[in-house]
Structure 1
Amino acid sequence: MLMNVFLVIYGLAMCFILFYSFAQANLLWHFFRFKDNKMPMATVENKALPFVTIQLPIFNEKYVVERLIHAIAKMQYPMNKLEIQLLDDSTDETSDIIKECLKTYPEVDFKYIHRVDRAGFKAGALKEGLEIAKGELIAIFDADFVPDPQFLLKTVSHFENEKVGMVQSRWGHLNEDYSLFTRLQAFALDAHFMVEQMGRNAQKAFINFNGTGGIWRKSCILDAGNWHADTLTEDLDLSYRAQQKGWEFVYRPDVVSPAELPPVMSAIKSQQFRWTKGGAECAKKHLGHVLTGSFPMTVKLHAAAHLLNSTIFIAILLVSLSSIPVWWGFYKGMIPLEYFKLAAFFLFGFVIIASVYFFANLNLKKFTLRSFFRFLWELPVFLAVSMGLSVHNAQAVWEGLTGKKSPFIRTPKYNLTGKGKNWVGNTYNQLKIPPTAYLEAILAIVFSAMVIFSLFTATYEMLVFHSMLAVGFTLVSITSFRSYLASAR
């Protein structure tokens, strides 16, 4: 009886993963059919250009804030139609660095706004800045971004269409080759920005503002109810409220906004926790409204897959844990071998997901032979590490779905663009080891043992899966302890 329970859990979780892969397959199909959103670039001499406010939300960013200011100061746009808000919530020397750096650009309309009370965190800062923003359009960049100087000229023309509420650019990566983990993050983000964003936008499904590297129509933000701080992903929340109101979003994969990737596991986990928990919170907040609204079925299905995509980590964790008793059932003959052969159908989902990452990453690399061989090792390592993060991210999703609140913890920035630099001395590193790190270490031992048992008993049905789990949990646990302990020295 108990074995049947494990088998049902395993099967249902695998079905959820398969559903997710089918949604990805549809996005991949529309990715191939995507028609470029390029428009003639505006010119600085165009007297009809709208007034733009650039918002720069900042909190304790002493390592990257000067780089950001220097990049923004180079923005090509009429000076009489541009203001730049530095929304500074800092509690350290970042504020002094900003004030000193601004003296370099007296000709640029920088507005320094410092809040003592961080009410609403990033959403609160953006909302407060919006109240006094003069711009018809609002561009937003996080502190670790180095925007394209022509970003505004490449995007403002879309707002000639009065239905357009937001234009999102594609993220680039300043430190993609810094380490294995920065490369794996780039691997994942490229799939999101190439296949997912392009695939959804091509069929007019809901897409999301990615929190930075985008430009909004101010009236769209206000019409959608302004920024809310009741989720950890205020960007996704506002995106769904705006599109439910009928506003159209435009995605520009050809406009690239380079940013920094977290180089250390503690920072990666911080970012992943906020994204996955915030996604779950938005699913709880918006999914019902979307599914019962008068939207096309395609929009509803992709909204469900989009809002529930963080739930994939709960499914992965359930599959991982239930695979142990299921393996035992096969080994002891309690489960017919035909069931395992039937489960091979789920491999179709793996092929789909592999195809998404293949075409997303190799398309950016122009399908070179080098990129192909790089993909061959990146994909299995990426999948293994994603499995290794399932405990951490499943906790975040569960908290989001059950309504447990937690503060907005921003991802530390490092300004590491070369391999010779070290992250250890960063004062923003997190020092507290979370309980999930110990559980990841235990699971690394458990699945390593499963691999050994499979080899000794010649039961190879789940050898590859358990090997990936062993590698994933081992990598995540070791690098987690290393990052926390090294920062504490």
Structure 2
Amino acid sequence: MDLIGSLALFLAPSKVDRWTRALTDNTFSGIHQLGWFDWLLLVPYFVLLTILAIYGAHRYAVVRGYLKYKHRVPLVPETKFAALPRVTVQLPLFNERNVVDQLLESVLKLRYPKELLEIQVLDDSTDDTHPYTEALVARLKAQGHPIEYIHRTDRTGFKAGALQAGMAQAKGEFMAVFDADFIPPEDFLEKTIHFFSDPNIGVVQTRWTYLNRDFSLLTEVQALMLDGHFALEHVARFGQGLFFNFNGTAGILRRVMINDAGGWQHDTLTEDSDLSYRAQLKGWRFIYLPWIECPSELPVDTYGFQVQQQRWAKGLTQVALKLLPAIFRAKIGWREKAEAWFHLTPNLSYPLMVIVSALMLPVMIVRFYIGWGQMLLIDAPLIVCSFWSVVTFYLLAEHELYPNNWKRAIFILPFLLAMGVALTISNTKAVIEALMGKQSAFVRTPKYAPKAAGSLGATAYKRKSGWLPFAEIGMGCFFLFMALYCIEVMNFFALPFLMIFVSGYFWAGFSTLWQEHQARLRYQRDSAKVEVEAIS
């Protein structure tokens, strides 16, 4: 993302004596001595950094939009239903045994007339989640709860397919969707349903919060990243009347709107964003209610986090390819079109950052012969656009959400930058696959429930990350070499920023390998235990 691209802007090595001479002579020492080969490196390098900085500068527009229009968030609906409508609660599951109990327990507590409520458990599971959940739902239904169990053996369309199949059997006018790791508050429907008394409203989205925010440094970093999206971006877009997206969970959708927009489609991995833009192009309005909090679970391991981010990066890029032509042709304002571009294409910055990383070392060597003043002339505006926009954006989000505890975010920001670096390779792969039209399965994010998170769950994740962690460690070594080069040329100013790259890549690579090693040990231990029990 632009937050990692911005780090490259600090890398303008010059020895201290050259800095002093540049200041004394009031000139850009050596800037006219560059050869054609040097320009072949510098021009694409700064073009790419400028693109990254533009995405960073967009954060200032988001901050401005938030501060100017946050008062437009409605606290109460303008009117209310005279008679409450029927609501269907859809709970898509796939091999998520660890969180089934807490999910159903919370949903059954929703306050709404039982005769107007329908709960659908949409279970595509292929492991023991299926028989366990089927039996649990049968018991709950026998106790008088309005709950149905729908199991598909064919996962066509993945989550989108499950939602569409469930809607075909649903009786509700409105569809409330909760992923398996969410725990909706008891008054969720009471607070949200009356906003649909306006027939033009198609979606009501609420804000995510996190049950395991304080579980580890990784979960704190993720919470900070998502807080920026839910605290600032959604509010700024909604307040200005711009398009924003349903987040796939913790929200309610009007059934007529879903059908009018073409239904749930599964040609992208972010079916929620796809439907959101199609619906808003049809003229449907969305409402965002950040004051309604819906607790959820964050991934507790690095690989699970990367899997989630890859899915979002690839899915948004797929939506951009699919819908941006229609958005640009639509009879909407240029601001809506521009914001749609920035919303759907930010992940293009990941492959750009890979190219910047490859150019960084030769550019550092070339720029060794360029003066200190050139950094002020060229680099300083880019730094303001990118790096400081990140700082402003996330600190403001934390200040707005947690006014008494926002300063902790200052200490988390360097780790957020490092984790942004850690996503570069995996998300670049996802974006390139999207651009090439390569389809892939919807890979769920492992969920363990807060009680199980300490041991990463009873069912250790059976997966292999392949070449990814080794590539990340290799990139870490590359940036470590650049850090050593900076020491050699006495460019100590760049070292802290280079070490963010080093720590980010090493964090991702080594933590993934360590977690896989622990998973293998657990699997071997569990297998041995099963064999012993079978013999006895």
Partner of 1:345: 381
Distance in 1 (alpha carbons) for counterparts of 2:425 and 2:40? 21
Q: Are 2:268 and 2:318, in contact at CA under 8 Å, matched by a contact in 1?
A: yes
388-397 or 311-320, larger mean C-alpha shift: 311-320
The alignment's TM-score, normalised by the length of structure 1, stands at: 0.94
Residue of 360, 364, 374 corresponding to 1:327: 364
Three-state SS of the structure 2 residue aligned to 1:230 is: coil
Closer/same/farther in 2, CA of residues 287 and 486 from structure 1, 3 Å limit: same
| Count of residue pairs brought into register by the alignment | 480
Distance in 2 (alpha carbons) for counterparts of 1:343 and 1:318? 18
Q: Are 1:424 and 1:487, in contact at CA under 8 Å, matched by a contact in 2?
A: no
Three-state SS of the structure 2 residue aligned to 1:83 is: strand
Matched, 1:90 2:90: no
Three-state SS of the structure 1 residue aligned to 2:133 is: helix
Q: Map Cα deviations across residues 427-475 of structure 1 (whole Å, 9 max, x no partner).
A: 3x14312322111101111111211221122024633332211111111
Percent identity of the aligned residues? Answer: 35
Partner of 2:397: 360
Q: Aligned AA for 2:456?
A: W
Distance in 2 (alpha carbons) for counterparts of 1:41 and 1:134? 26
Larger Rg: 2
Partner of 1:380: 414
Distance in 1 (alpha carbons) for counterparts of 2:431 and 2:262? 25
Q: Are 2:119 and 2:146, in contact at CA under 8 Å, matched by a contact in 1?
A: yes
Q: Are 1:53 and 1:138, in contact at CA under 8 Å, matched by a contact in 2?
A: yes
What root-mean-square deviation, in Å, do the aligned CA atoms of Structure 1 and Structure 2 show?
Answer: 1.8
Distance in 2 (alpha carbons) for counterparts of 1:295 and 1:273? 31
* Matches for 1:443-458 after TM superposition, within 5 Å: 443-458=475-490
Closer/same/farther in 2, CA of residues 297 and 13 from structure 1, 3 Å limit: same
Closer/same/farther in 2, CA of residues 218 and 486 from structure 1, 3 Å limit: same
Distance in 2 (alpha carbons) for counterparts of 1:60 and 1:425? 13
Q: Are 1:276 and 1:310, in contact at CA under 8 Å, matched by a contact in 2?
A: yes
Partner of 2:289: 252
Point out the structure with the larger helix share.
2
Partner of 1:38: 75
Runs of 4+ deviating beyond 6 Å: none
1:165 deviates by 0.5
Distance in 2 (alpha carbons) for counterparts of 1:108 and 1:279? 37
Distance in 2 (alpha carbons) for counterparts of 1:347 and 1:436? 30
The alignment's TM-score, normalised by the length of structure 2, stands at: 0.86
Highest RCO, 1 vs 2 (Cα 8 Å, sep ≥ 6)? 2
Partner of 1:184: 221
Q: Are 2:79 and 2:198, in contact at CA under 8 Å, matched by a contact in 1?
A: no
Partner of 2:438: 404
* Matches for 1:401-480 after TM superposition, within 5 Å: 401-416=435-450, 421-423=454-456, 425-427=458-460, 429-460=461-492, 462-480=494-512
Partner of 1:482: 514
Three-state SS of the structure 1 residue aligned to 2:413 is: helix
| Structure 2 portions without partners, runs of 5+ | 1-35, 522-536
Distance in 2 (alpha carbons) for counterparts of 1:96 and 1:42? 44
Q: Aligned AA for 2:51?
A: F
Distance in 2 (alpha carbons) for counterparts of 1:9 and 1:70? 56
Distance in 1 (alpha carbons) for counterparts of 2:482 and 2:84? 63
Distance in 2 (alpha carbons) for counterparts of 1:237 and 1:432? 30
Partner of 1:302: 339
Closer/same/farther in 2, CA of residues 424 and 139 from structure 1, 3 Å limit: closer
Distance in 2 (alpha carbons) for counterparts of 1:411 and 1:397? 18
| Structure 1 portions without partners, runs of 5+ | none
Residue of 13, 24, 29 corresponding to 2:59: 24
1:312 deviates by 2.4
Residue of 187, 203, 207 corresponding to 1:166: 203
Distance in 2 (alpha carbons) for counterparts of 1:288 and 1:65? 40
